[in-house]
Amino acid sequence: MANISNLPDVEFYDVIEDQKNYIWLAANKGLYRYDGKSYQRFSHPNQKGNSLFQLKEDHEGRLWCNNVYGQLFYIENNRLTLFLDASHLVKGQLSPYTISENHIRLFTITGVYDIDKTTKKINKIFAGMCISNTNLNDDSYVFAINNEGLLKKHRVYKIEATKSKKILEIESLKLIQSPKLFTLKNDVFLTHKSEDGNVIYLINTITDTVRKLQTPSQLKNEIIYNYLNINNEYWFLTTSGVLIYEFENETFRFKKQFFSLESITDVEIDFNNNHWFTTLDNGVFVSPNLNIRHVELKIPKSKITASCTLQGNQFVLGTNDGKLLFYNQSNCIKILQLPGHKIIGNLFYDDQQQQVIVSINASESFVVNLKNDKITDAINKFSVAKTISKLNDTLLFYGNYKEGIVYNNPYNSIEKNILRSSRVKTSVVHNDKLFVSYIDGLFQYNLNTFSSEEIQFQGHSLLVNTMSTSNTAIWLATQHNGLMKFENNNLKQSSIGLPEDLLINTIKSDGDVLWISTDSGLFQYNTVTKALKSLNAQDGLNMAVNDFLVLKDAIIVYLPQSFYILPKGESLFKKFKTSKIKIEAVHINDRDTVVQSYYKLPYHLNKIALQFNSNGFQTNKHVTYQYRVQQLDTTWQNIPLNTHVVNFNSLASGTYIVELKAKNVSTKNAVFSSPITFVIIKPFWETYWFYSLILLVIIGLIWLYFRWRLKQKEEQRITEIDKILTDKKITNLRLENLRSQMNPHFIFNALNSIQDYIISNEKELASSYLVKFSRLIRMYLDYSQQNEITLQQELNALKLYLELEKVRFEEELEYSIKTDERLKTNQIKVPSLFIQPYVENALKHGLLHKSGDRRLIVETKIIQPNKLQITIEDNGIGREQSEKIKRPNLQHKPFATKANEERVHLYKNKLKRDITIEVEDLKNKNQKSSGTKVIITLPI
């Protein structure tokens, strides 16, 4: 029996379990729902007052309740919804109601009303002051009061459909107190309080007749809150707890009582057969197993220190103050006090002698004769006993903290045989052999010769803490090898299915059944059927079981100041169930979302948490959970106990089906939740279309690259062809230039000059002239093979040319070649034979037709960084006058000049060299032509 802690209130009126295994509690402070781990309060903004009453569930699974103000509520979509405010009907009284498929029937002091659940239309079907009601099948029974003169008419009506029928009338000048109608099984009862106490009537629902019953004495003066029919028993909930009766032959027969000090208002049995008791002032009690009874010692200061079974269902308890308490199950039949306040350490019952050996935790012991309750001082014969075993009619084994002894005729003689000097732990007798567990090993003794043999396992001594015998074997709880079985001189480890690393405190046999106590509760093992069952906190045995007694019909588990009675039989062991798993919340990236079975999420919403629960009493302690993600897990993953959330962080893209299962620790079968599917969409850079796009881009880039390379090669080929053509053209132009420079007139004049020198016997002049002419011809031929020559080479050729032309002009030509000192003429490249045509033009067209004062100036200088300017200036007749004196067939540009212009064009457009040529006509003060100036600009 457990009083629930952390309750939100202490005053409770009703309790009910819904179809989803939630426990609902109607309390003074409001309506609460319990899910196995916490309480959730439900309220409505228009609710008048906190208190709610009369919890009921309709055909649709909706939970209903009401309050004293006449408001009717129901739970839907996880919230409290106001159905109807009927305050104008109930007049401030708490009115009972019933729920059918289509309407609510409300019983008030103004009458009985049917309220349509869909339209909320109110139909009055009975007029009268209704005080109480009950239902049987589709019929309603109503206790109503009518005033007729001075008489108060107290009547019971039966309402079938919308028609009413009077079946009982009680006339009284006073109002009847606390009338209540209730249905138990197929019977309808009426109770009310009179001057002589509670009165009970039985209404025959077939004949509609009424009989007054004999009120049980226990109910005579009790305030009755409620009535229940549980397992064909009649439960009356009163100020003195729960009174349980059987009803036969129109007579109540008392069976038992629970919570005699509590005011019990309602009882609910949940899906695991836990009994919930609500009280008016002390919270809620839960009994996992009503068959387990708890008995307090009647002596407050005494503590239980030893025990032993007697005959049948009798047993004796020894205390720390020398008392022997004799019980027949829960009834203490007598108490014996030993001389002085002794701490009783051990008790042994000799069935044959009907005597109890009492071992004191000091140098004392006693023998109690149960025939006459005589206590005999045995001095220290059995003091500080660890174990006592009866060997036969005359022999008794006694073991203490230092030796094992066999007494012959132990009650009347001091004859003894010390078997072994070592601390004894426990002993048993089986198949005419004595088995003794010492602190250093296990030995078996022959009862005739007392010769000993050590029982070892795999060559090592056995350290046995406790042992017991079944019909065919000895069961040993060892310190290092777990539970073992010794049968037919064969020792082996037992595999009965106990939890691993479980420490066994005590083993006791009951025929073919072994009872095993541990810190985790009590286990029952059937050695024939191999069935293992357990009793633990879920069964109401919420403690570590150290020692216990096996009676004829019950097991006694004792604590220092109380004990539990566990009746044998199948009713002791419950078959636990596990409530369906409910997914309470789904959190995506730490944000709550609507719970659904399928989610399709973008790649960045990949942090997922599932919050879940399996309803029931203390499921946070008794239900374990596992999960499995089909794409990730091959086995189920355990979730720690009392953990109701599972997290998945940074899920990769893909489809994940999450499964959950829950299992009560005392069951074998698990329940499963509906799987939830999460689809995490791939980021765009991981999709097939993106891969396809990248592949197309790569193919496109490769195609563009090769196209560019082909185009580049084509352009390179064209460029090379252009270059070849350009070079060819330039070569042709050079040749043309050369041809212009070596025109017949120039050569003829030069040769004439040489001839004249020869004829005039000017040998030296002829030789010098001929050398210069040959050098110039050689230069022209040499430079014509090159596209570019140095500026110095160009100027040398030009100087040599001018020297020869000066002879032609009969020394009437003055020329000068000026060079900027900053110029490195040996490093600067210029097109070969580029300046000479312009100088030739100046001589041929400008200076040749002028008489006297013929001047020509050639100047080279830097005008900008990396810019070379070549100026050819003459003081001839000018271009205009020269055009006038040309012969008609020479009205075109000189061939060399035209060739140079073609070369300039090729250099600028094909070779990307910025060469410019400007021709400027010079004027004197009178604006008459005074010469020509050619300006050539080219990059260095």
Each residue of 442-483: pLDDT tens digit?
999 999 999 999 999 999 999 999 999 988 899 999 998 899
Mean pLDDT of all residues in 312-328? 96
* Distance in angstroms (rounded) separating the CA atoms of residues 518 and 378: 34
Lowest-confidence pick of 402-416, 461-475, 594-608, 753-767: 753-767
**CA atoms of 262 and 280, how far apart (whole Å):** 8
Q: 739 pLDDT exceeds 50? A: no
Give the mean pLDDT of 726-738: 59
Residue-wise pLDDT tens digits, 491-544 = 999 888 888 878 899 999 998 899 999 988 899 999 999 999 988 888 888 778
Separation between Cα atoms, residue 468 and residue 457, nearest integer Å: 18
pLDDT above 90 (res 309): yes
Report the 10 Å Cβ neighbour count for 117.
20
For residues 355-360, average pLDDT: 97
Contact (CB, 8 A) for 430 and 445: no
- pTM of the complete model: 0.72
The confidence band for 784, taking pLDDT boundaries of 50, 70 and 90, is: confident
Q: DSSP per residue over 725-764, as a string?
A: HHHHHHHHHHHHHHHHHT-HHHHHHHHHHHHHHHHTT-HH
Of 625-634, 720-729, 842-851, 853-862, least confident by mean pLDDT is: 720-729
Q: Is 432 exposed, middle or buried (0-12, 13-18, 19+ CB in 10 A)?
A: exposed
**Per-residue CA distances from 618 to 316, 538, 642 (Å):** 36, 9, 10
Q: What share of the chain is helix, strand, coil (3-state, %, to 5)?
A: 20, 45, 35
Distances from the Cα of 458 to the Cα of 51, 443, 492, 493, 496, angstroms: 70, 15, 10, 11, 21
Mean pLDDT, range 227-233, rounded to an integer: 90
DSSP state of 543: S
Query: Which H or E element spans position 406?
Result: strand 404-408
Contact between 907 and 899 (Cβ < 8 Å): no
User: In whole angstroms, what is the distance from residue 331 CA to residue 315 CA?
Assistant: 10
Mean pLDDT in the chain? 89
pLDDT of 740 > 60? The answer is no
Is residue 439 within 8 A of residue 423, CB to CB? The reply is yes
Cα dist from 367 to 133, 306, 376, 401, 921, whole Å: 65, 15, 5, 20, 160
- Between strands 814-819 and 855-864, the pairing is parallel
d(CA 731, CA 708) in angstroms, rounded, equals 33
- pLDDT above 80 for 700: yes
- The DSSP bridge pattern shows strands 433-438 and 63-66 to be unpaired
Helices 763-783, 688-741: inter-axial angle, 10-degree rounding: 160
Torsions phi, psi for 706 (to 5 deg):
-65, -35
- The total of other beta-carbon atoms located within 10 Å of residue 831's CB is 26
User: How far is it, in rounded angstroms, from Cα 59 to Cα 503?
Assistant: 50
pLDDT above 50 for 829 = yes
667, 643 Cβ separation under 8 angstroms = no
| Distances from the Cα of 161 to the Cα of 120, 164, 211, angstroms | 18, 8, 25
d(CA 162, CA 293) in angstroms, rounded, equals 48
DSSP letters along 620-683, please? HHHEEEEEEETTT-SSPEEE-TT--EEEE-SPPSEEEEEEEEEEETT-S--EEPPPEEEEEPPP
The per-residue pLDDT for 252 is 93
pLDDT category of residue 405 using cuts at 50, 70 and 90: very high
Most confidently modeled range among 535-544, 621-630, 875-884: 621-630
Which token pair is 600? Answer: 């399709």
pLDDT tens figures, 637-689: 999 989 999 999 989 999 999 999 999 988 889 999 999 999 999 888 888 88
Of 909, 712, 357, nearest to 366 by C-alpha is 357
Is 211's pLDDT higher than 50? yes
Residue 891: pLDDT band by 50, 70, 90 thresholds? very low
Asked if pLDDT for residue 742 goes beyond 70, the answer is no
For strands 395-399 and 404-408, give the pairing. antiparallel
Token output for 274 = 């836990």
Least confident of 29-43, 520-534, 813-827, 897-911: 897-911
pLDDT band at residue 375 using 50, 70 and 90 as cut-offs: very high
What is the band of 864 on the pLDDT scale with cuts at 50, 70, 90?
Answer: confident
202: number of Cβ within 10 Å: 17
* Whole-number Å distance between alpha carbons of 672 and 667: 14
First and final C-alpha spacing in the chain: 113
What's the CA gap between 511 and 105, in Å, rounded?
Answer: 59
- For residue 620, which phi and psi values (nearest 5 degrees)? -65, -20
Residue with tokens 């064009």: 905
Give, in degrees to the nearest 5, the angle at Cα 363 between 358 and 366.
Answer: 25
